[in-house]
């Protein structure tokens, strides 16, 4: 290797390969003599990849010992233009345009972009140049020689275009709006980004798409704002006249408002802030934040270059004067801004004070209206009678009512706020008490009823629910408690409980106007004690007035409160019945009104204890004689059928009547009787029983037993009356048919009632539910026996009968075995 290689002589070994020289450059000299000069910042890519990082075209390349150097992409790139053949007129026009393009080509090439050290990279892209003319390689003109290759072919392409409507020399498409020439390319000056060198549209794009590009306006605005960073590469900046920008006071105020809104500090604080700007070449000091926004106030004035400052000389450099002038301008601007802010503050204070003034005026008007209303209310209140008012001089009860109505309707807020309803205690009570002083409720129960009703509408409050006498009672309740109740208390204390009509009528008339708790107090504390004392003094053997005549009228008002009176009444009635005989019908008349008053259990117990033993004794004394029968004792017993329960009456007949009756029948059949007389006797006794009793299973069983006895008698041997057997058989068949028809009718009625009830309550889903429904209808207890089973089936109690259910059949416990039975028979046996 020769020494020329070491000292940097360049040799080209291969085409397109450049070898970097090693000679001393300006960069080396500047680096040695000015070591503190500004150096370029290392990019993130260079910090990552080192010497293998891609280089930016705008950077100054530092000499290195590398082998190859990157190609220069800043040189123009020529493209070959293509297109279709044009008409003669279009070619002539293009030649004229070509001449102008050639003249443009003769212009010197655009200078390269400024180095990186002079301005930021972003602003290097702002060196905008004009549109360059297109260069075509090889001298080939657009539209010439296009399609010449078709002369060597059959011209299939041109034929296809003509078939589709294409006409030579015109545009493509239905309306000839398509372009014929292909899209032209334009050479960019450097390696900057798109749009860094101005508008890149070609003449063809301007002709085909004459649309104003909004990006051009943005670029012009961008150049206008950042013009101070642009450096004129031709060196003509010194020849341009400086442009000055002027601000009016309104513009300064508007700009100051925006800055003031953006910063929460006050105007005095902003004026005293010292700001050091180190974003430029030199350190600058500002005395307010607004000066920072004004530092680019001359957009078209570029900063003077070094060469220009050298040309001016030292005689024109007056930095102190410029500083003082700038300081005066800044202080003046601050004074204007502070004055504008004070003015705005004063305006805001005026608006706030005016709003507060209107609010106070509105409140004052409201207070004046309230004062006027209060004066009117006071005038009305002063009209009410006082303790000093002489009797007969003040307003009457009706006038007071109208005044209270006026207060409620016209001055409702004052009435509620000041509690004017309590005035009734002092105003109305004396008047009403004076009016009720001569009232007798038992003689004239409707006296003063309308007045009390009127005061109820005025004084009663829906918000207060009083439940007893206390200090916070409703005014209306207090009126009744302090005025009306004392009159009723004195009346009840002198009242005779047996004169029940006037007192009951009076309470029925006043009950709608009385609060529930006052009515309860009256009934429980006044009426009921008087009734208890009267019941204690009552003697059923000596008193001619039945007790139910003066007790039962109180049932609608007292209801369950009368329960404490019933045990003494039953006890006295029981004592009175000790010497009673069934032939005395007065006992039934006295007891009958109490059947529906006493509970079912209490009534049944009273009958079993006091009535049934007397009736059983009467039946035992009954003599059954077919030839001469005395029916009075039997009628005495049957008169109590409506008073006794069916089960009690059936049990009474079963024990005290039917054994003697069947015995007489058997003895009569054993003595060669007349069967027609026996039939009449049988039907006569059966007609003495009601349908309810005949429907009872035990009664049916006894009469069927009598038929069986007669059938056995006519079936036995011996002398027999002619036709007796047929008469007895017919009688038996007739009676059995009647029983069957009655049972069928009863079952039909039960089915209809169940179906009707099933519409609303639901049809029972199984046989057990049906039994439960029937038990509820007939008031029979139906419940399972805990731990009791028969052959794995659960046992139930149906009244006093034990049953179990198997496959929809009810089995009743007999003496030795379980007997299946129907549902109606089960109900009859349980009753």
Helix (H) or strand (E) holding 793: strand 793-798
Specify the higher pLDDT residue, 352 or 477.
Answer: 352
CB contact set of 277 (below 8 Å; sequence gap of 6+) = 283, 284, 285, 286, 292, 295
Tell me if 819 is assigned to some domain: yes
- pLDDT at residue 388, rounded to an integer: 65
- Residue 307 scores a pLDDT above 50: no
Phi and psi, residue 580, nearest 5°: -85, 145
- pLDDT at residue 349, rounded to an integer: 95
- Residue 316 scores a pLDDT above 70: no
Taking CA atoms, 751 is separated from 774, 795, 806, 823, 824, in Å, by 11, 25, 21, 12, 11
Provide the percentage of residues in the chain whose pLDDT is more than 90: 17
- pLDDT at residue 281, rounded to an integer: 79
57 CB neighbour count, 10 Å cutoff: 15
- Residue 823 scores a pLDDT above 70: yes
Domain termination site, one of 312, 342, 373: 373
Specify the higher pLDDT residue, 176 or 64.
Answer: 176
- pLDDT at residue 114, rounded to an integer: 41
Handedness of CA 426, 428, 431, 436 (dihedral sign): negative
CA distance 25 to 11: 19
Per DSSP, 170 falls in state S
Specify the higher pLDDT residue, 705 or 313.
Answer: 705
Domain termination site, one of 373, 390, 416: 373
- Residue 680 — pLDDT band, cuts 50, 70, 90? confident
Tell me if 351 is assigned to some domain: yes
Highest mean pLDDT: which range of 242-246, 378-382, 753-757: 378-382
Q: Contact, 158 vs 150, CB < 8 A? A: yes
- pLDDT at residue 535, rounded to an integer: 92
- pLDDT at residue 772, rounded to an integer: 86
- Residue 60 scores a pLDDT above 60: no
Q: Supply the pTM of this predicted model.
A: 0.48
Highest mean pLDDT: which range of 386-400, 483-497, 740-754: 483-497
- Residue 530 — pLDDT band, cuts 50, 70, 90? very high
Which residues share a beta bridge with 797?
783, 802
Tell me if 724 is assigned to some domain: no
Pick left, alpha or beta for residue 166 (phi over 0 → left; psi -120 to 50 → alpha; otherwise beta).
beta
Tell me if 448 is assigned to some domain: no
Per-residue pLDDT, averaged over 437-450, amounts to: 88
Taking CA atoms, 209 is separated from 179, 194, 213, 239, in Å, by 10, 20, 10, 38
CA distance 652 to 572: 25
- Residue 777 scores a pLDDT above 50: yes
Tell me if 102 is assigned to some domain: no
**The tokens of 248 are what?**
């009016």
Nearest Cα residue to 476 out of 495, 458, 498: 458
Phi and psi, residue 43, nearest 5°: -80, 170
- pLDDT at residue 652, rounded to an integer: 92
Specify the higher pLDDT residue, 364 or 191.
Answer: 364
Buried b or exposed e, range 627-639, using 16+ CB within 10 angstroms: eeeeeebbebbbe
Q: For 190-223, how does the pLDDT look when each residue is reduced to its tens digit (9 = 90+)? A: 777 777 777 777 877 777 776 655 677 777 777 7
Nearest Cα residue to 530 out of 563, 556, 500, 573: 500
- Residue 520 scores a pLDDT above 60: yes
CA distance 653 to 699: 9
Per-residue pLDDT, averaged over 783-809, amounts to: 85
CB contact set of 119 (below 8 Å; sequence gap of 6+) = 229, 231
Buried b or exposed e, range 380-406, using 16+ CB within 10 angstroms: eeeebbeeeeeeeebbebeebbebbee
Which residues share a beta bridge with 801?
798
**The tokens of 408 are what?**
């409620």
Domain termination site, one of 353, 373, 393: 373
CA distance 191 to 616: 136
190 CB neighbour count, 10 Å cutoff: 19
- Residue 6 — pLDDT band, cuts 50, 70, 90? very low
Per-residue pLDDT, averaged over 183-193, amounts to: 77
**The tokens of 565 are what?**
């009176």
The boundaries of the domain holding residue 812 are 767-829
CA distance 687 to 690: 7
Which residues share a beta bridge with 136?
79
Least confident of 181-195, 550-564, 690-704, 746-760: 746-760
**The tokens of 348 are what?**
């805001």
CA distance 28 to 100: 45
- Residue 600 scores a pLDDT above 80: yes
Highest mean pLDDT: which range of 104-113, 165-174, 532-541: 532-541
Specify the pairing of strand 793-798 against strand 782-790.
Answer: antiparallel
* Three-class secondary structure assignment of 569-595: HHHHHHHHCCCCCCCCCHHHHHHHHHC
Residue ranges of the alpha helices (H) in 547-694? 548-551, 555-558, 566-576, 586-591, 600-610, 612-620, 632-638, 646-656, 658-669, 675-687, 691-694
- pLDDT at residue 105, rounded to an integer: 43
Handedness of CA 5, 6, 10, 14 (dihedral sign): positive
Buried b or exposed e, range 451-462, using 16+ CB within 10 angstroms: bbebbbebbbee
CA distance 521 to 417: 32
- Residue 286 scores a pLDDT above 90: no
Tell me if 352 is assigned to some domain: yes
Q: For 405-435, how does the pLDDT look when each residue is reduced to its tens digit (9 = 90+)? A: 888 888 888 888 887 777 777 788 888 888 8
Average pLDDT, the chain: 75
Phi and psi, residue 466, nearest 5°: -80, 145
828 CB neighbour count, 10 Å cutoff: 22
- Residue 446 scores a pLDDT above 60: yes
CA triple 29-31-33, angle to 5 deg: 65
Per-residue pLDDT, averaged over 25-50, amounts to: 74
Q: Contact, 810 vs 826, CB < 8 A? A: yes
Domain count, the chain: 2
CA distance 637 to 616: 8
Q: Contact, 582 vs 615, CB < 8 A? A: yes
Pick left, alpha or beta for residue 733 (phi over 0 → left; psi -120 to 50 → alpha; otherwise beta).
alpha
- pLDDT at residue 140, rounded to an integer: 43
Tell me if 590 is assigned to some domain: no
- pLDDT at residue 714, rounded to an integer: 76
Nearest Cα residue to 615 out of 573, 586, 651: 651
**The tokens of 315 are what?**
């005689």
One-character DSSP codes across 332-384 = HHHHHHHHHHHHHHHHHHHHHHHHHHHHHHHHHHHHHHHHHHHHHHHHHHHTS
Helix (H) or strand (E) holding 491: helix 485-493
CA distance 313 to 830: 140
Which residues share a beta bridge with 820?
811
Tell me if 618 is assigned to some domain: no
Helix (H) or strand (E) holding 277: strand 275-277
CA distance 686 to 702: 11
Tell me, rounded to whole angstroms, the distance of Cα 649 from its chain centroid: 64
């Amino acid at each position: 290797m020769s020494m020329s290689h070491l000292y940097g002589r360049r040799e080209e070994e291969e085409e397109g390969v450049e070898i970097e020289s090693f000679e001393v450059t300006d960069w080396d000299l500047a680096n040695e003599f000015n070591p503190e000069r500004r150096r370029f910042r290392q990019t993130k890519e260079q910090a990552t990849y080192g010497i293998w990082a891609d280089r930016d075209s705008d950077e100054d390349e530092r000499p290195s010992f590398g082998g190859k150097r990157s190609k220069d992409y800043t040189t123009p790139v020529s493209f070959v233009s293509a297109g279709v053949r044009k008409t003669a007129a279009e070619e002539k026009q293009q030649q004229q345009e070509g001449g102008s393009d050639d003249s443009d080509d003769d212009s010197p090439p655009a200078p390269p972009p400024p180095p990186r050290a002079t301005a930021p990279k972003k602003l290097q892209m702002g060196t905008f140049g004009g549109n360059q003319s297109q260069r075509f390689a090889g001298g080939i003109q657009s539209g010439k020689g296009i399609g010449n290759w078709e002369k060597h072919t059959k011209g299939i392409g041109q034929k296809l275009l003509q078939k589709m409507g294409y006409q030579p020399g015109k545009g493509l498409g239905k309306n000839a709006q398509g372009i014929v020439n292909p899209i032209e390319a334009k050479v960019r000056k450097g390696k900057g980004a798109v749009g860094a060198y101005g508008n890149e549209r070609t003449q063809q794009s301007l002709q085909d798409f004459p649309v104003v590009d909004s990006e051009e306006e943005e670029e012009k605005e961008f150049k206008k704002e950042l013009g101070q960073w642009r450096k004129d590469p031709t060196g003509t900046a010194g020849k341009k006249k400086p442009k000055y920008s002027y601000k009016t006071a309104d513009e300064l105020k508007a700009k100051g408002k925006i800055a003031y809104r953006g910063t929460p500090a006050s105007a005095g604080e902003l004026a005293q802030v010292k700001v050091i700007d180190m974003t430029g070449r030199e350190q600058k000091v500002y005395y307010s934040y607004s000066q920072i926004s004004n530092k680019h106030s001359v957009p078209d004035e570029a900063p003077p270059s070094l060469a220009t400052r050298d040309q001016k000389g030292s005689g024109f450099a007056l930095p102190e004067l410029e500083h003082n002038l700038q300081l005066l301008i800044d202080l003046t601007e601050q004074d204007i801004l502070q004055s504008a802010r004070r003015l705005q503050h004063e305006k805001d204070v005026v608006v706030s004070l005016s709003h507060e003034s209107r609010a106070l005026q509105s409140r004052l008007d409201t207070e004046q209206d309230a004062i006027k209303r209060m004066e009117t209310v006071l005038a009305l209140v002063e009209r009410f009678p006082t303790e000093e008012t002489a009797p007969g001089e003040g307003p009457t009860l009706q006038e007071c009512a109208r005044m209270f109505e006026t207060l409620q309707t016209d001055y409702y807020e004052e009435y509620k706020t000041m509690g004017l309803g309590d005035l009734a205690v002092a105003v109305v009570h004396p008047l009403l008490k004076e009016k009720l002083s001569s009232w007798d409720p038992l003689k004239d129960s409707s006296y003063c009823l309308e007045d009390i009703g009127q005061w109820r509408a005025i004084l009663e409050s829906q918000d207060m629910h009083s439940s007893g006498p206390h200090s916070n009672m409703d005014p209306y309740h207090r009126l009744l408690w302090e005025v009306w109740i004392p009159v009723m208390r004195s009346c009840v204390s002198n009242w005779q409980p047996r004169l029940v009509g006037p007192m009951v009528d009076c309470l029925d008339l006043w009950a709608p106007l009385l609060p529930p708790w006052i009515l309860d107090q009256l009934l429980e504390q006044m009426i009921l004690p008087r009734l208890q004392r009267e019941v204690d003094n009552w003697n059923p053997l000596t008193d001619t007035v039945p007790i139910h005549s003066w007790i039962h009228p109180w049932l609608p008002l007292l209801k369950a409160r009368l329960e404490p009176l019933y045990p003494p009444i039953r006890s006295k009635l029981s004592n009175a019945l000790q010497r009673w005989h069934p032939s005395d019908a007065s006992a039934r008349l006295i007891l009958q009104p109490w059947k529906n008053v006493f509970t079912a259990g209490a009534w049944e117990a009273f009958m079993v204890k006091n009535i049934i033993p007397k009736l059983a004794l009467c039946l035992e004394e009954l003599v059954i004689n077919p030839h001469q029968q005395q029916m009075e004792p039997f009628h005495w017993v049957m008169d109590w059928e409506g008073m006794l329960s069916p089960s009690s009456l059936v049990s009474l007949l079963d024990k005290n009547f039917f054994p003697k009756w069947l015995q007489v029948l058997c003895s009569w059949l054993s003595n060669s009787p007349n069967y027609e007389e026996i039939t009449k006797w049988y039907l006569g006794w059966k007609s003495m029983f009601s349908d309810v009793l005949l429907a009872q299973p035990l009664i049916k069983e006894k009469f069927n037993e009598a038929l069986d006895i007669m059938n056995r008698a006519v079936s036995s041997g011996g002398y027999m009356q002619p036709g007796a057997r047929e008469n007895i058989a017919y009688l038996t068949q007739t009676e059995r048919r009647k029983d069957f028809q009655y049972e069928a009718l009863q079952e039909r009625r039960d089915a209809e009632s169940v179906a009707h009830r099933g519409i609303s309550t639901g049809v029972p889903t199984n046989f057990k539910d049906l039994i439960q429904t029937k038990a509820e209808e007939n008031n029979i207890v139906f419940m399972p026996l805990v731990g009791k089973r028969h052959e794995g089936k659960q046992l139930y109690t149906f009244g006093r009968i034990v049953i179990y259910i198997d496959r929809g059949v009810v089995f009743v416990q007999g003496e030795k075995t379980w007997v299946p039975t129907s549902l109606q028979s089960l109900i009859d046996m349980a009753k």
